[in-house]
Structure 1
């Protein structure tokens, strides 16, 4: 399938009634070939369908994460560049600048530092469950539980006032919704960027013990501009609450649809089993469901094909994590599976900086919620749950539950 007119559009729709599974067309393409061509906004780009090949190519220095490079397969029509406002940090940069900026914020996300936060996260989770149990039901688990947890955690880590959560949650949801107009998404990006730019000014004047104040110190030392510091703040704030919030809600819904697996979590206090369940749900669900994207800087010969400079490549992690060559019976949710080598967080130098924090938060949630509310169940039919098919991050807009 190399002719432009034969290439399918990417991303593809999921099958009706199968909200947790990758699109069936992706499975067809995976079985057909390790490399296929797809259409993205009228352009033909490469799709890498298999787990081992994705891990190989994601570490190839001839591929670029820079969205401005020719051939980069942007996941939506490109937003106009705002040269005056903050960007979104280092995520769409290449080394050495990517590595230089990333190193500035690595320390707070190291495993030892994250583990020191576990008691605080446990208290946040327990307090929110207390509120659930004391309040009316049914209740929307997204608004009452899944969103507040990572928002509170990332606000404390960054030094962002949590009372502003409605503002940044609203604007980040608009920015990540691909069906919004370019104008609306650009305005939302400007709103968040302006907010972090002003907050960075406050940190420059009145530093405290938080990550943004650490970036402010870099600004004072001349290592970083205030705009770039704010851009890193934008990236960490959005990524720090959106991804984990969606994983909490979507993971809970998946477990409710697999009561045998839910029972294993509900009835255990074994931290190894809880950690295993987190990895398996990350493999099985893939909330980053539109693939990692790269531009080709130099010709690459791979699997009998020539990937030419100026072309684009997409790595759909959802189908890589369902590759039967790596994960036997990949469409089965098994919380006892050793799924630690999944690519839900990416691979190589661009793998997710915040993965230790996300893992810890999910371990606390999955190890607490179902034990404390053992009769938790959906309050609506599965068909009535609104899934985020229109978002850059997959999940559910709401999840009414009762017990």
Structure 2
């Protein structure tokens, strides 16, 4: 119990922190029970107490609600953060709480590659990847233990900026170790995984590729905005310069991705995404940086990588993650069972997707019948404002560039149903979910 994952993961954590380390291992808990019931098994509360106590921490400072959330978070995937506790003799101490990847709901580190669209068998061909990938996780998570992760009082936008910077620091530490140990190809693969994983735009905190080799830069709102927009700008660039429809471009990106990326590369070479030539990019030059990082990563890791068994074409399903209280929030203070130790949302909220509440599910069900219907309201100065599915019309059409949505449209076309009235239920155009498993 409390093994904290593989030896590689443990060694990675130990190499970057001087704090006493308390390891957790999701394999110690009832994973199948949680997947089936979405509830933590009662025995796991006792288990996690024992694990913590056996590693020198006075477990009485945690209440059961905190420990329940801690088990849920452990099952979701690896993490690392520092916290103040008491040792078994009652003396205050600061520890690094590190959770390994083994046995997690999100799977092992290969899930990180799946979210980035990379065939794990291809990266297995890189010398050193299989040998050191768990250590990379450990270095990353151990680095978080030396960081200020307190986001109390921040808005969601401020949290994204702040935590993107912290993620870049942790990625930078892993890349430095790889380069110091003469593993440059693995280091480049790690950067490329971040670049490819940023395409969906739903996890800006981990879209660190353009920051890893730029320690002189700090994360900013411009970085967050670029993560959300660069995918759309690529589609629009190919549409404009090659005189194609949006549907043709998205179809190309799905069925002929190598040709799509080749055209992106040619546009980059022509300066088509340069702020000096592109008015849409002028307001945020970082968009070009994200496009360049993505296109380069796709070519290196997917197009140019030696052939291996074909990856599955099945879409990656959102990871089952803790339900109930907001993920990572372990700061319970009500009632008799008030804890002495504070585990806040910022300590453990690291970008993993969570299961929506029952109320959210009902709201989504209720919204199905009105999706896709434009709503016009009077704005400031009696100007008409159009929204579609609760977002501005430009944002709605921007999401039309989503390949998942395009696949649905193409499927309807193949069945002859496109354009028919399907009970006034438009296909959802939300950006696809999916989070990285390294935080």
Same-fold status (TM-score > 0.5): no
Normalised to the residue count of structure 2, the TM-score between the two structures is 0.33
Question: With CA pairs under 8 Å and 6+ residues apart, which has the higher RCO, 1 or 2?
Answer: 1
Normalised to the residue count of structure 1, the TM-score between the two structures is 0.35
